[in-house]
Structure 1
């Protein structure tokens, strides 16, 4: 099984950085339907583009969304997350007022927490073994 890695090339860097993100609605409120998830994906694509990142995969259920983002090393994940959540919250509340009932979802749209995990490449045990096998000068 061959795994093809797509590298980002910059002036002084070559990278292959991916992050798996999960955002949950405030109080895990069931608010998403298919149309709202499609619009949320469009918003997330635009935000990623503004960070020179690429949304590789997106999906969700009634109360949360999953994203796979390929991003450059200059991007801080926390800043990307803040922008993704802030911009999407603004537009989803504005465009889906009937679904995002203010009586049920007062305050923030998203929970302040999020899940982020780096992914791709070799397992950590393989990388650790590779590093330990380097010929250290004596």
Structure 2
């Protein structure tokens, strides 16, 4: 499911003129490193990533997603976005790569 989520998010980023540089996920959240144009509002980017991925993941993994537990939502309405303008990209990539990915 995470592999498909990454594929969908890469497509969404490309459609918005952004680049998904790094992706990883855990049982209850995902980590993304995205390079996006300064004129693209972060809220637009996040809402599109969450909305499109939720649509496809629900459709393709119906039996694995329990809507009752998630109150009808795949993603939480919240998100964290941080700027890493001064940090070396390799450090950010290593952080994302080192997140525990579920079996």
Q: Which residue of 1 aligns with 2:77?
A: 112
CA distance in 1 between partners of 2:4 and 2:75 (Å): 16
Relative to its length, the structure with more helix (as a share) is 2
Relative to its length, the structure with more strand (as a share) is 1
CA distance in 2 between partners of 1:121 and 1:103 (Å): 42
Superposition misfits of 4+ residues, deviation over 6 angstroms: none
| Residues paired across the two proteins, number | 87
Asked whether the equivalents of residues 24 and 31 of structure 2 are also in contact (C-alpha less than 8 Å), the reply is: yes
Mark the structure with the bigger radius of gyration.
1
CA distance in 2 between partners of 1:88 and 1:40 (Å): 6
Q: Which residue of 1 aligns with 2:64?
A: 99
User: What does the per-residue CA deviation read over 1:68-95, in whole Å, with 9 as the maximum and x for residues that have no partner?
Assistant: 0001111100000000000001100110
- Root-mean-square deviation (CA, aligned residues, Å) is 1.2
Q: Which residue of 1 aligns with 2:6?
A: 41
TM-score scaled by structure 1? 0.60
Gapped regions of structure 2 (runs ≥ 5): 88-103
TM-score scaled by structure 2? 0.80
* 1:85 and 2:54 are equivalent in the alignment: no
Gapped regions of structure 1 (runs ≥ 5): 1-35, 123-138
